[in-house]
Amino acid sequence: MILTLTPNPSLDRTIELAGRLERGEVQRAAATSAHPGGKGVNIVRALCASDIDALALLPGDPGDPVITALRKERIPHLSLPIGGPLRSNVAITEPDGTTTKVNEPGPELTPAQVTALLELTVSQSDGAAWLVLAGSLPPGAPVDLYARSVTAVRQAFGTAAPRIAVDSSGAPLAAVLAAAPDLLKPNAEELAELTGIGDAISLEANPELAASAAQTLVDQGVGAVLATLGSQGAVLVTAYGTWLAKGPAILAKSTVGAGDCALAGYLLAALRGDSPAQCLQQAAAHGGAAASLPGTQVPTAHQIHPHAVVVTALTRIKEN
């Protein structure tokens, strides 16, 4: 079973435009959709679409629209009541796949609620194969919440603890490095910010440089780094090898949640016992399939084609 923690979930609304976004103008939507969201929630949605046993942990009152949507979509979840509404996020997509997002900060959690969420995560981690700590942190949560979660779960279960993946950004992502998670899933922008190597454009254009940046994180104790590079594919760096995955060209309809689906694909393959290269292949296939769908839809098994993804071993380069 794969468990996810989403401390700052949302109701994700997507507005699809028939043409370019015109700033300051009135435009009509071609279509709209809404789904329960947040990185960990998206990962569970994607895993459930592939018939993988998964559970989403998150704050939220029983009548909150996010929790109601999870029930409606039959997404397995456990929620911690917080006595206030969760946030809503809006994504505006253009026909060429360009996506503009407006994310609310989320409700402020009290110290007691943060502690309760951490305790819920530890208790539910018993017997899980993977624990994924995902997304931004809400106001009131300590910046090292993910680092604390890694430590608490490993102290509770020792060698029987689940493997732990982290998909976040900014200070929470930087703070978790000291806890040495088993897997990090940054995009190019997050990888550049975390390592100080290059920027999003240069890392996407140069997978070898992205691999070199990811290698610095593995050298610090992280088990593996799965770095998604947009249309340029993804790289996987471990202590034992480095690989690049490139899928076929697609017509991107929405990039919202594509990285979450990529991580879901990696975890699905890891759960099967696939090799690192095969896990990367599945990740790239999942991410590409998600980007080809509108809104925040997640791909089903028949929409995902891992054998169309080419994986090659990379020779690492050193950053000067």
Q: Enumerate the active-site residues.
A: 260
The residue with tokens 């206030």 is 84
The CA-to-CA distance between both ends of the chain, in Å, stands at: 42
Structure tokens at 265: 């694909």
β-sheet with 77-80: strand ranges across: 77-80, 54-59, 2-5, 130-134, 163-167, 183-184, 224-228, 234-238, 242-246, 310-313
**CA–CA–CA angle 220, 224, 230 (5° rounding):** 115
Structure tokens at 12: 């994700």
Residue 68 CB: number of other CB atoms within 10 A?
15
**CA–CA–CA angle 141, 167, 282 (5° rounding):** 160
Q: Bridge-partner residues for 244, per DSSP?
A: 235, 312
DSSP 8-state symbol, 232 = G
Residue (of 198, 212, 224, 211) closest to 318 by Cα position: 212
The residue with tokens 């975390």 is 194
Residue 89 CB: number of other CB atoms within 10 A?
20
DSSP 8-state symbol, 302 = G
**CA–CA–CA angle 7, 58, 103 (5° rounding):** 50
Q: Bridge-partner residues for 14, per DSSP?
A: 33, 91
* Residue 63 one-letter amino acid: G
